[in-house]
């Protein structure tokens, strides 16, 4: 079960690998429950440095990063400036990088980003801001980069360098192949980097192919380096960076021998580190039930043996002799863990009436439950839990779907134009549709959709949703479109979650008084729409907690289109027959605007229905490999206790 903790940790530098726990690690790192806590402490460290320098009348030279990782640090610095009088008058900044070519007024430029998130809100002197200029002519570029490098040097070098990390292992835009001593220069972006940037540019074709970046050598000369990384998307590259050998294939590994570097991570980003993923390999463990299950599943996967076939020797050979001593024999432990997994499987996600529910994931009463399925976009419900949704309706529960955002940004202009033209053909007198058609025909890459166009795109997604929910037997009155305001910017960049958003979510929970809530527990992208939608649900639950009806409300988290819960994390596994898999596919098909090369595909070019079918099949295969029954597909859930 997931629970938030409020403990405070320090990010002060210590030598990596000094302790038993971190002996696999070559870079000092600190793990926080959330990006908020980590960002707060990093902002504190920067503020202390600025004040320290102020006290001795010195300039404070900061190297700054853009992207989603540092946003909360900047927010906190702005807050400190406004509320605590933190002055930036002695601060000189050098940004890491800029796309090339790129106009600084373009909303996708790093220049624009820095002003929007930081510089517009603090008292830094404009002449102290340095950001690589994406408009330098190609003939001047070489010299420009040398001058940038020299300017940093002339300021005495960087006192503090803030970094993010790309999935290629880049820091700045130093892509794989970058040299240890590289300086500021132009570089060709890696394909993965361009894929990751594609959503902000509304498609990979619009992402520049080149950039200007400070070099690895430039960064490594900084007196202090702090790298931020949030979310499981970064977990794999962080394991390679922190535990792997130094290699130009993962440029961030060059930080291993910088003697004042700290990585600040959240739980998701740290999840592949040996001490987190397999703590029994680094120290003797206090064996909670959850850790036992994690270890046994890991051992079963490692040895490719089903759980009931694991032997004493398997446990001893793989760092788990302590667990074996505690449990007596492999035989006992195997059976216990096998049963635990077995009990997660149910074809009755709303609880099975008149059955003994001691070992079932859900309660049997009330027999007919009120259920809310929160869906961040208007198709996550069927993509991520279409089979379970179907069963809940079939088994007579009062199911409500709450679409949290309009999803309008993911409808292409071509799709919108098609509908606008049909509407116009039906009603030629309408100025409204004529206006929409004209707008779409004249729209350029950088234009933000007009309100009418956004409305039309939202309506397209609404009607697709109705088609899908009707197909699954739900009446329209049980379908709710929340249109949370944080999403309605008309651009990829969303607003912060506001009280208004939280109230909208609270209101529907209060109105329906559900026994079950399903929500998208996507933690991969901490600033993505799914995470914001989840934060809204968490905040609403916290606010409603004192109400009596909440005592009967259980919350189940499903995962979005990108990741699945690990087998040991699953607390409810809902199997699907081959027919149910087809039915789910059909329900997804109704979301036609999201088929065939949608905008937010990520680096997986398969359509959503293919991806999710593979994922559900894989979960079933994993369960089967652990020794459980063989199903065609499984949807997985984890309970959240608030
Ligand atoms: C940005 C930069 C990049 C990013 C990295 C991670 O100035 O230099 O290295 O830090 O691509 O990006 P996010 O934080 O968006 O995941």
Please check whether residues 316 and 205 belong to one and the same domain. Answer: no
Main-chain dihedrals φ then ψ at residue 180, nearest 5 degrees:
-50, -40
What per-residue confidence (pLDDT) applies to 432?
82
The pLDDT of residue 62 is above 60: yes
**Domain shared by 248 and 336, yes or no:** no
Residue identifier of the C-alpha nearest atom 1 of ligand 1: 66
**Ligand 1: residue whose CA is nearest its atom 15:** 67
Identify whether 348 is part of a domain.
Answer: no
In a domain, 305, yes or no: yes
* pLDDT at residue 428, rounded to an integer: 85
The alpha carbon of 598 and the centre of ligand 1 are apart by a number of angstroms equal to: 24
Q: Given the CA of residue 164, which atom of ligand 1 is nearest to it?
A: 10
Residue 165 CA to ligand 1 centre (angstroms) = 5
What is residue 171's three-state secondary structure? strand
135-139, 202-206, 370-374, 499-503: segment of lowest average pLDDT = 202-206
- Choosing from 275, 295, 324, the residue where a domain stops is 275
Q: How far is the CA of 156 from the centre of ligand 1 (A)?
A: 25
Short-list 569, 575, 572, 512, CA closest to 544? 512
Per the CB < 8 A criterion, the answer to whether 352 and 562 are in contact is no
The answer as to whether 302 is a domain residue is yes
Provide the phi-psi class of 183: left if phi over 0, else alpha when psi is between -120 and 50, else beta: beta
pLDDT value for 7: 56
Ligand 1: atom nearest CA of 110 is 7
Domain identity same for 182 and 302: no
Ligand 1 pocket test, candidate residues 65, 187, 229, 268, most atoms within 8 A of CB: 65
- Hey, which of 63, 108, 166 would you mutate to test ligand 1's pocket, going by the most ligand atoms within 8 Å of its Cβ? 166
Q: Compute the distance between CA of residue 27 and CA of residue 13 in angstroms, rounded to an integer.
A: 10
Q: Please report the atom of ligand 1 found closest to the CA of residue 170.
A: 9
Helices (H), 513-607: 529-544, 578-589
Residue 257 lies in a domain: yes
**Closest Cα to atom 9 of ligand 1:** 172
Q: How confident is the model at residue 1 (pLDDT cuts 50, 70, 90)?
A: very low
Burial class, 12, CB count within 10 angstroms (exposed 0-12 / middle 13-18 / buried 19+) = exposed
Alpha carbon distance 261, 225 (integer Å): 5
Per-residue pLDDT tens over the stretch 116-125: 999 999 999 9
**Per-residue pLDDT band at 3 (split at 50, 70, 90):** very low
Amino acid 201: pLDDT: 84
**Tokens for 146?**
């040398």
**Domain stops at, among 244, 275, 306:** 275
Among 118, 165, 200, 228, name the best residue to mutate to test ligand 1's pocket (greatest count of ligand atoms within 8 A of Cβ).
165
- Name the 3-class secondary structure at 247: strand
Q: Who has greater pLDDT, 434 or 570?
A: 570
Q: Verify that 66 and 135 share a domain, yes or no.
A: yes
Q: Are residues 182 and 579 in contact, defined by beta-carbon separation less than 8 angstroms?
A: no
Domain boundary among 250, 275, 300: 275
Q: Are residues 314 and 177 in the same domain?
A: no
Task: Compute φ and ψ for 52, nearest 5 degrees.
Answer: -60, -45
Provide the 10 A C-beta neighbour count for residue 492.
16
Ligand 1 center–CA 21 separation, angstroms: 28
**Candidates 25, 76, 175, 272; catalytic one:** 175
d(CA 442, CA 465): 29
Q: Are strands 479-481 and 398-403 parallel, antiparallel or unpaired?
A: parallel
Q: Which atom of ligand 1 is nearest to the CA of 230?
A: 16
Domain of 308 in residue numbering reads as 280-342
Residue of minimum CA distance from atom 3 in ligand 1 = 172
Do 288 and 188 lie in one domain? The reply is: no
Q: Best mutation site among 42, 68, 69 for ligand 1, i.e. most ligand atoms within 8 A of its Cβ?
A: 69
Distance between terminal CA atoms of the chain? 10
Res. 203: pLDDT tops 90 = no
Q: 223-227, 387-391, 521-525, 575-579: which has the minimum mean pLDDT? A: 521-525
Query: Which atom of ligand 1 is nearest the CA belonging to 228?
Result: 14
Considering the domain boundaries, does residue 347 fall inside one? no
Q: Which residues approach ligand 1 with their CB closer than 6 A?
A: 65-69, 96-97, 110, 164-166, 170-173
User: Alpha-carbon distance 260 to 70, whole Å?
Assistant: 19
318 burial type by CB count under 10 A (0-12 exposed, 13-18 middle, 19+ buried): middle
Percent of the chain with pLDDT over 70: 96
Same domain assignment for residues 333 and 384: no
Tell me whether the omega of the peptide bond preceding residue 366 falls within 30 degrees of 0, making it cis.
yes
User: Quick one: 461 and 511 in the same domain?
Assistant: yes
From CA 193, how far away is CA 209, in angstroms rounded? 10
Is residue 532 within 8 A of residue 497, CB to CB? The reply is yes
Helical ranges in 130-220 per DSSP H = 141-154, 191-197, 216-220
Number of separate domains in the chain = 3
Which domain CATH number covers 493? Answer: 3.40.50.10320
Percentage of residues in the chain having pLDDT higher than 90: 84
Residue nearest to atom 11 of ligand 1 (CA): 166
Residue 84 tokens read as: 């605590």
Do 270 and 287 lie in one domain? The reply is: no
Q: Would residue 87 count as lying in a domain?
A: yes
Residues 239 and 273: their CA atoms lie apart, in Å, by 5
Arithmetic mean of pLDDT over the chain: 94
What residues pair up with 187 in beta bridges, in sequence order?
Answer: 211
Angle at 423 between CA 419 and CA 427, to 5 degrees: 170
Instruction: State the angle between helix axes of 451-471 and 578-589 in degrees (0 to 180), rounded to the nearest 10.
Output: 160
CA distance 76 to 53: 19
What are the Cα distances from residue 217, in Å, to 38, 149, 221, 246, 600?
26, 10, 6, 14, 35
Query: DSSP letters of 79-138?
Result: HHHHHH----TTEEEEESEEEES--TTSTTSHHHHHHHHTGGGS---GGGEE---TTS-T
Distances (CA, A) of 528 to 230, 524, 537: 11, 8, 15
Q: Is the pLDDT of residue 284 over 80?
A: yes
Strands 160-163 and 633-640, bridge-based pairing: unpaired
Which atom of ligand 1 is least distant from the CA of 66? 7
Cα gap 41→8, rounded to integer Å: 9
In a domain, 583, yes or no: yes
Same domain assignment for residues 198 and 246:
yes
Omega of the bond leading into 101 within 30 degrees of 0 (cis)? yes
pLDDT in tens, 291-311: 999 999 999 999 999 999 999
For the stretch 443-471, pLDDT in tens is: 886 788 999 999 999 999 999 999 999 99
Q: Which helix (H) or strand (E) holds 467?
A: helix 451-471
pLDDT band at 8 (very low <50, low <70, confident <90, very high): low
* CA nearest neighbour of 270 among 296, 245, 243: 243
Helix residue spans in 198-266 (DSSP H): 216-220, 235-243
Alpha carbon 522 to chain centroid, angstroms: 6
Q: Whose CA is nearest to atom 4 of ligand 1?
A: 164
Question: 260: how many CB neighbours lie within 10 A of its CB?
Answer: 13
Alpha-carbon distance of 467 to 474, in angstroms, equals: 10
What's the gap in Å between 16 CA and the centre of ligand 1?
23
443 falls within a domain: no
The CA 170 to ligand 1 mean position distance, Å, reads 8
- pLDDT class for 525, splitting at 50, 70, 90? low
Confidence at 107, pLDDT banded by 50, 70, 90: confident
Distance 82 CA to ligand 1 centre (A): 26
Using pLDDT thresholds of 50, 70 and 90, give the confidence band for residue 526.
low
User: Does 89 lie in the same domain as 203?
Assistant: yes
Which pLDDT band holds residue 548 (cuts at 50, 70, 90)? Answer: very high
Q: Is the pLDDT of residue 5 over 90?
A: no
Instruction: Give the number of the atom of ligand 1 that is nearest the alpha carbon of residue 64.
Output: 7
Name the helix (H) or strand (E) containing 47.
helix 35-55
Atom of ligand 1 nearest to the CA of 67: 15
The per-residue pLDDT for range 180-196, each reduced to its tens digit, is 999 999 999 999 999 88
Alpha carbon separation from 211 to 13, 170, 187, 188 (Å, rounded) = 31, 13, 5, 6
Q: Which pLDDT score, from 0 to 100, does residue 205 have?
A: 87
8 A C-beta contact, residue 472 and residue 390: yes
Range from 17-21, 211-215, 226-230, 262-266 carrying the lowest mean pLDDT = 17-21
What's the gap between Cα 413 and its chain centre?
26
Count Cβ atoms within 10 A of the Cβ of residue 519 and give its class: 0-12 exposed, 13-18 middle, 19 or more buried: buried
**Active site annotation includes 607:** no
Cα–Cα distance, 373 to 482 (Å, whole number) = 12
Task: Please report which residue ranges of 245-379 form alpha helices under DSSP H.
Answer: 267-270, 274-277, 289-303, 312-317, 321-327, 330-342
512 and 593 together in one domain = yes
In this prediction, residues 485-504 reach a mean pLDDT of 91
Q: What is the pLDDT of residues 65-95, one digit of tens each?
A: 999 999 999 999 999 999 999 999 999 999 9
Calculate how far, in angstroms, residue 552's C-alpha sits from the geometric centre of ligand 1: 43
**Could you identify the residue written with the tokens 């949704």?**
389
Within 486-549, where are the H helices? 499-512, 529-544
Looking up residue 267, the CATH number of its domain turns out to be 3.40.50.1360
Residue 264 near residue 298 (C-beta atoms within 8 A): no
Distance 69 CA to ligand 1 centre (A): 7
The pLDDT value given to residue 169: 97
Residue nearest to atom 12 of ligand 1 (CA): 67
CA of 446 to the centre of ligand 1 (A): 22
User: Which residue among 67, 161, 603 has the greatest number of ligand 1 atoms within 8 angstroms of its CB, and so is best to mutate?
Assistant: 67
Other C-beta atoms closer than 10 Å to the C-beta of 542 total 13
């Amino acid at each position: 079960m997931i629970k938030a903790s409020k403990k405070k940790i320090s990010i002060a530098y210590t030598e990596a690998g000094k302790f038993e726990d971190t002996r696999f690690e070559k870079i000092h790192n600190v793990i926080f429950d959330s990006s908020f806590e980590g960002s707060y402490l990093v902002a504190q460290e920067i503020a202390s440095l600025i004040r320290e320098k102020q006290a001795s009348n010195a300039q404070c030279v900061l190297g700054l990063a853009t992207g989603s990782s540092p946003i909360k640090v900047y927010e906190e610095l702005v807050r400190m400036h406004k509320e605590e009088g933190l002055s930036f008058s002695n601060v000189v900044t050098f940004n890491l990088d800029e796309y090339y070519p790129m106009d600084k007024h373009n909303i996708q430029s790093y220049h624009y980003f820095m002003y929007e998130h930081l510089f517009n809100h603090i008292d830094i002197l404009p002449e102290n801001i340095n950001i690589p200029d994406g408009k330098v002519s190609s003939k001047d570029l070489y010299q420009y980069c040398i001058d940038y490098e020299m300017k940093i040097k002339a300021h005495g070098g960087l006192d503090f360098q803030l970094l993010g990390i790309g999935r290629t292992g880049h820091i700045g835009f130093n892509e794989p192949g970058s040299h240890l001593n590289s300086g500021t220069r132009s570089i060709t972006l890696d394909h993965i980097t361009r894929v990751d940037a594609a959503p902000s540019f509304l498609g990979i074709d619009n992402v520049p192919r080149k950039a200007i970046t400070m070099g690895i050598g430039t960064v490594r000369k900084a007196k202090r380096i702090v790298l931020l990384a949030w979310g499981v998307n970064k977990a794999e590259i962080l394991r390679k960076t922190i535990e792997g050998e130094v290699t130009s294939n993962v440029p961030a590994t060059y930080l291993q021998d910088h003697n004042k570097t700290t990585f600040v991570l959240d739980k998701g980003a740290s999840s592949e580190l040996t001490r987190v993923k397999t703590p029994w390999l680094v120290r003797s463990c206090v064996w909670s039930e959850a850790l036992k299950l994690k270890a046994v599943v890991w051992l079963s996967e490692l040895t490719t043996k089903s759980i009931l076939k694991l032997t004493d020797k398997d446990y001893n050979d793989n760092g788990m002799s302590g667990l074996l001593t505690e449990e007596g024999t492999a035989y006992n432990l195997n059976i216990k863990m096998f049963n635990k997994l077995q009990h997660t499987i149910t074809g009755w996600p709303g609880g099975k009436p008149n059955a003994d529910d001691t070992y079932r994931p859900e309660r049997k009463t009330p027999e007919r439950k009120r259920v809310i399925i929160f869906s961040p976009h208007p198709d996550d419900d069927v993509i991520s839990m279409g089979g379970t949704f179907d069963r809940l309706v079939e088994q007579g529960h009062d199911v409500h779907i709450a679409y949290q955002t309009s999803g309008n940004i993911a409808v292409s202009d071509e799709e919108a134009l098609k509908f606008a033209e049909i509407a116009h053909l039906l009603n030629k007198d309408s100025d409204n549709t004529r206006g929409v058609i004209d707008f779409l025909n004249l729209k350029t890459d950088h234009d933000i959709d007009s309100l009418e166009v956004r409305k039309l795109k939202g309506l397209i997604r609404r009607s697709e949703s109705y088609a899908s929910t009707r197909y699954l037997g739900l009446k329209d009155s049980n379908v709710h479109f929340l249109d949370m305001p944080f999403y309605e910017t008309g651009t990829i960049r969303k607003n912060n979650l506001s009280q208004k958003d939280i109230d909208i979510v609270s209101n529907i929970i209060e109105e329906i008084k559900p026994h079950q809530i399903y929500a998208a527990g996507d933690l991969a992208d901490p600033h993505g729409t799914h995470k914001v939608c989840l934060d809204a649900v968490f905040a609403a639950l916290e606010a409603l907690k004192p109400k009596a009806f909440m005592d009967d409300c259980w919350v189940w988290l499903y995962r979005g289109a990108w990741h699945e819960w690990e087998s040991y994390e699953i607390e409810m596994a809902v199997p699907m027959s081959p027919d149910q898999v087809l039915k789910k596919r059909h329900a997804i098909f109704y979301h036609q605007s999201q088929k065939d090369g949608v905008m937010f595909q990520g680096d997986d070019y398969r359509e959503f229905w293919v991806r999710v079918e593979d994922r559900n099949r894989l979960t079933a295969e994993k369960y089967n490999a652990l020794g459980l029954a063989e199903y065609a597909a499984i949807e997985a859930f984890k309970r959240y206790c608030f």
